[in-house]
């Protein structure tokens, strides 16, 4: 009995630490998605002050999140430095009309970082067992993924850079988000206001390939993020 108790005392902290590491990866994933959509909005609005501020705020939040990752891989550190350098190199960029090459390079970096994060998630799960994100964090991941993809389309007249044929269609991601958020609002009434905001923006998101409206979308997403933070 004493042996079992000792094993439990040793084992539980390691499990708790592994779960904490997994949660840190999830939070970094969310903030990195916010950073990617923020840089895309910086491109779309040609580096105006409002979107520069949005970008720098998102970068600071993502920097804070990446600093919590224990034993970050060399690959992640190198990729994050590349992303930081990319952002820095275009802070004083002289925009002269649309510049789709910026989005093309940015989309490549996003794809590469997403692959690294996926590997970190898989490794963390192998250590901590069958852990899953909180329901609201899962909603946030899907929400931010949709926004980042929406902004890629906004910056491209050819249907979006970094959009592969193997990806889930954006329409499907939008409808899945609606379904899961509806289910969450039914079980936890505090999320009804969040669902209302999503319903307001849904038709605009679905028109991503014909009637782009980034200002409305970004403003509504900012409101939804504040709502989630207040829960």
From first to last of its 231 residues, the chain has per-residue pLDDT tens of 555 444 444 444 545 666 788 999 999 999 999 999 999 999 999 999 999 999 999 999 999 999 999 776 889 999 999 999 999 999 888 887 656 688 889 999 999 999 999 999 888 888 766 677 789 999 999 999 999 999 998 887 544 454 544 578 999 999 999 999 999 999 999 999 999 999 999 999 999 988 889 999 999 999 999 999 998
Half-sphere exposure of 98 (CA within 13 A, CB side): 12
When divided into structural domains, the chain yields a total of 1
Q: Which ranges in 48-163 belong to alpha helices (H)?
A: 49-66, 74-89, 100-128, 135-154
> How high is the pLDDT of residue 16?
62
Q: Can you give the pLDDT at residue 193?
A: 97
Q: What is the pLDDT of residue 129?
A: 67
The total of other beta-carbon atoms located within 10 Å of residue 177's CB is: 18
Which residue in 201, 60, 209, 68 sits closest to 149, CA to CA? 209
> Nearest CA to 130 among 138, 139, 121?
121
**CA count, 13 A, side-chain hemisphere, 47:** 14
Cα-to-chain-centroid distance, residue 208: 18
pLDDT at 21: 86
Q: pLDDT value at position 4?
A: 45
Owning domain of residue 23: 2-230
Cα–Cα dist 190/165, whole Å: 37
Judged by phi (left if over 0) then psi (alpha if -120 to 50, else beta), residue 129 lies in left
Distance (Å, rounded) from C-alpha 185 to C-alpha 193?
Answer: 8
Question: What was the pLDDT predicted at 187?
Answer: 94
pLDDT for the residue 160: 43
CA distance linking residue 15 with residue 80, whole number of Å: 28
Conformation bin of residue 156: beta by default, left when phi > 0, alpha when psi is -120 to 50:
beta
CA-to-CA dists, residue 164 to 33, 85, 100, 115, angstroms: 17, 25, 17, 14
Distance CA 43, CA 146 (A): 18
What is the reported pLDDT for 6?
A: 42
Retrieve residue 221's tokens: 């997403």
């Amino acid at each position: 009995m004493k042996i079992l108790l000792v094993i439990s005392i040793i084992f539980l902290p390691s499990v708790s630490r592994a779960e904490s590491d997994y949660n840190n990866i999830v939070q970094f994933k969310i903030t990195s998605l916010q950073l990617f959509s923020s840089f895309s909005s910086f491109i779309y609005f040609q580096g105006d002050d409002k979107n520069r501020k949005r970008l720098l705020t998102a970068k600071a939040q993502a920097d804070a999140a990446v600093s919590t990752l224990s034993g970050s891989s060399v690959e992640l550190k190198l990729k994050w430095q590349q992303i930081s350098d990319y952002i820095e190199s275009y802070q004083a960029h002289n925009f002269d009309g649309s510049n789709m090459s910026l989005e093309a390079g940015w989309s490549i970096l996003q794809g590469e970082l997403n692959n690294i994060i996926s590997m970190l998630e898989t490794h963390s799960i192998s250590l901590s067992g069958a852990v899953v994100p909180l329901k609201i964090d899962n909603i946030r991941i899907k929400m931010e993924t949709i926004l980042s993809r929406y902004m890629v389309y906004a910056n491209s007249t050819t249907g979006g850079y970094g959009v592969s044929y193997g990806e889930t269609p954006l329409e499907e991601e939008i409808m899945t988000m609606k379904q899961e958020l509806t289910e969450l609002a039914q079980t936890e009434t505090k999320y009804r206001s969040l669902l209302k905001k999503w319903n307001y923006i849904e038709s605009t998101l679905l028109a991503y390939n014909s009637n782009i409206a980034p200002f409305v979308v970004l403003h509504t997403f900012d409101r939804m993020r504040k709502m989630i933070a207040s829960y």
